[in-house]
Amino acid sequence: MKVMIAVTHLLGTGHLSRALTLGRAFRDAGHTVLLVSGGTPAPQLNHDGLDLFGLPPLRSDGTDFSRLLTESGEAADETHLQARITALQTAVTQFAPDVLITELYPFGRRVLAREFQALLQAAHALAPRPLVLSSIRDILAPPSKPSRVEQTQAMVTDFYDGVLVHSDPLSTKLETSWPVSEALAQKLHYTGYVAPPPAGSHPSQAGDGEVLVSAGGGSVGAPIFRAAIEAARKITNMRWRLLVGGRDANARIAELRAHVSDAPVEIEPARPDFRQMLNHAAASVSMCGYNTALDLLQSGVPTVLIPFDDGKEVEQGLRARSLASLPAIEVLESGDLTPDALAHLVERAIAAGPRAGSDLNFDGAAQSVTIAEKLLEARR
């Protein structure tokens, strides 16, 4: 079957990373995949073996997701936005998928509602009409008002055959962050967590005995990096490695290096071998995005989580608190972030670790393929 996945990452790269993992699972099962990406390029992610179709890129203005910028930082005008809509409509019409998957929408990306709705309308005009699924993570941004729940339910009812919830219901159900009506419950399919296979050992043992400090692939995490440099002066018996993401990584690295002096700290851009490095690290300090959380759970590395909460974001805080009961996982709220607090929790996590392997289901990508195949077959 032919599968089209539509995804737009606006700040970090987690949404695209998860969509790529999902796309590879469909490809490995023998299906043809077209991944349509509407965010800025993310060369650090593995795109091998997948056909990618790029829309005119967009990104958010930092944590202001209501203001959309082009790749060069200009406000996206109507011409830019209309070009994206036209490209989406053309892609779905020419590719004519058997299965169309929209990542996050309609549970999020409301700022892009016009283009997603145009995509869905074009898909429903095809003959035969593709199976239409929404792909959502374990925890969503809770709706700010009842009308958003009603609007989402209406879109699911009118356009979607099912919702793939990439979570293990034994750990986190959708109700944790989103109201689930009886009508919505009938369309939910829990897949397990969408994670790539566990990373093996690093061929050069990179990260061995280090504290790895990361903040995903976006231009965020500056307070974490600054606190880590000072915390490293308090724990001098191991090296701290800061992995800095974002389009402006080089400029941010230069600014941070000016503060290192004699601290046992190395700073470099975010690395594609990060998951392998976790298997050798003494500890990890990070935010708590979906993909990062899964990497940490799979590796068992002692962990300090500092949930991202800029712009009233609560998703990562909910996820971090759900993991806090596990051994060797410490949670530090951003408002409590100081070098002393960070150093203390790193030492406490290391003393409690490493953590045993998790019993949670990480086979969500393959399970998503099976669910889509069964739903499509049931329609025929």
Show me where the domains of the chain are located.
2-195+362-379, 211-352
Picking from 271, 276, 136, the residue whose alpha carbon sits closest to that of residue 196 is: 276
CA-CA distance, 39 to 204, in Å (whole number)? 33
CA-CA distance, 115 to 17, in Å (whole number)? 21
Measured over the CA atoms of residue 157, residue 4, residue 363 and residue 213, the dihedral's sign is: negative
pLDDT at res. 197: 87
Confidence band, pLDDT 50/70/90 cuts, at residue 98: very high
Whether residue 236 contacts residue 264, with contact meaning beta carbons closer than 8 Å, is answered with yes
Residue 282 to residues 97, 206, 260, 274: CA-CA distances in angstroms?
Answer: 46, 12, 20, 14
Confidence band, pLDDT 50/70/90 cuts, at residue 76: very high
CA-CA distance, 152 to 117, in Å (whole number)? 12
In this prediction, what percent of the chain has a pLDDT beyond 90?
81
Average pLDDT value for residue range 43-68: 89
Residue 228 to residues 73, 105, 273, 311: CA-CA distances in angstroms?
Answer: 29, 35, 21, 23
CA-CA distance, 64 to 115, in Å (whole number)? 19
Picking from 316, 288, 300, 270, the residue whose alpha carbon sits closest to that of residue 360 is: 300
**Greatest C-alpha distance within the chain:** 67
Question: Three-state DSSP class for 255?
Answer: helix
pLDDT of 219 higher than 80:
no
Picking from 7, 53, 55, 3, the residue whose alpha carbon sits closest to that of residue 29 is: 3
pLDDT at res. 325: 87
pLDDT at res. 196: 86
**Greater model confidence, 170 or 311:** 170
Work out the number of other CB atoms within 10 angstroms of the CB of residue 302.
27
Average pLDDT value for residue range 293-299: 93
Architecture of the 2-195+362-379 domain: 3-Layer(aba) Sandwich (3.40)
pLDDT of 267 higher than 80:
yes
**Greater model confidence, 245 or 184:** 184
How does pLDDT run across 269-283, given as a tens digit for each residue? 999 899 999 999 999
How does pLDDT run across 16-36, given as a tens digit for each residue? 999 999 999 999 999 999 999
Average pLDDT value for residue range 85-92: 98
Fold of the domain spanning 211-352: Rossmann fold (3.40.50)
pLDDT at res. 107: 97
pLDDT at res. 2: 98
pTM to 2 decimals? 0.85
Helix residue spans in the chain (DSSP H): 14-28, 78-95, 113-124, 146-159, 182-185, 222-232, 249-257, 274-278, 290-299, 315-323, 339-352, 364-379
Whether residue 317 contacts residue 167, with contact meaning beta carbons closer than 8 Å, is answered with no
Picking from 18, 379, 380, 375, the residue whose alpha carbon sits closest to that of residue 187 is: 375
Task: Enter the tokens of residue 106.
Answer: 């309609």
Q: Do domains 2-195+362-379 and 211-352 have the same CATH topology?
A: yes
